[in-house]
Amino acid sequence: MRTRHARDDEPPDSVEHHRGWLPMDEANRLYAVLEQTLPWTRHRLRIFGREIEAPRLSCWIGDPGASYGYSGARFEPVPWPAILGPVRDAVVASTGAHFNSVLANLYRDGDDAMGWHSDDEPELGPRPVIASLSLGATRRFVMKTRQPGPDARCHAFTLDHGSLLVMRGDTQARYRHALPRTARAVGPRINLTFRLVGVSACVEPAERRRGPRA
Ligand SMILES: O=C(O)CCC(=O)C(=O)O
Ligand SMILES: [Fe+2]
């Protein structure tokens, strides 16, 4: 892939992609249970002063008090479903990081997507570890450096059923990421992004530029 702004490079050093991280039968069961039982809703977001409905279904899951705000909206967590307990333990064991919450997204088909953003909300702290588990249909996940110019870089990952993508360190400060729409006929996909909110909260200046996502 080539764009005017950036070459398609090696993945950033601060991102790991573990394909087949969750065994197929566990991934199948997890997908089926979450799709059927989570209280999926369409989040209303504020993008450049306009209120819009996100082009996907979502559910914010977490420990009591782990509330989360992005794109002008704030969400209180629903409790962890029992099936996610062992998955959370396995993500902690794999990454060495701690998590108190998960943003679950359900992309119903290729029209559902997530726009360019960084996961840099102040309650995530300055160098968050974000672990992203993919279930269901395979989709492209793209990253590009926030700064244009000769050092600009971009990279596309193919996220398939059971894969775990881990973003660490300065990934959010240096890169934006997105899950683009696709004209291909694709089935539904669930993505779980494990996060730690509030605990190491570093409150940053209000004027810090943060891109809304849609
Ligand atoms: O669906 C994905 O793989 C990306 C989700 C994402 O970037 C997010 O929830 O912040
Ligand atoms: Fe994200």
Residue 191 CB–ligand 1 contact under 6 Å:
yes
Q: List the alpha helices (DSSP H) in the chain.
A: 24-37, 84-95, 171-174
- Element at 85 (helix H, strand E): helix 84-95
Where is average pLDDT lowest: 46-50, 107-111, 153-157, 166-170?
46-50
CATH number for the domain running over 7-195: 2.60.120.590
Residue 103 CB–ligand 1 contact under 6 Å:
yes
Assign 212 a pLDDT band (cuts: 50, 70, 90).
Answer: low
- The whole-number average pLDDT for the span 136-141 is 98
Q: Which of 57, 143, 191 to mutate to test the pocket of ligand 1 (most atoms within 8 A of CB)?
A: 191
Instruction: Compute, in angstroms, the gap from residue 179 CA to the centroid of ligand 1.
Output: 7
Mean pLDDT, the chain, rounded, equals: 90
Place of tokens 């398939």: 160
Tens of pLDDT, residues 46-59: 888 888 899 999 99
CA–CA distance, 78 with 66 (Å, rounded to integer): 10
Q: Which of 71, 75, 101, 105 to mutate to test the pocket of ligand 1 (most atoms within 8 A of CB)?
A: 105
- Would the pLDDT of 28 be above 90? yes
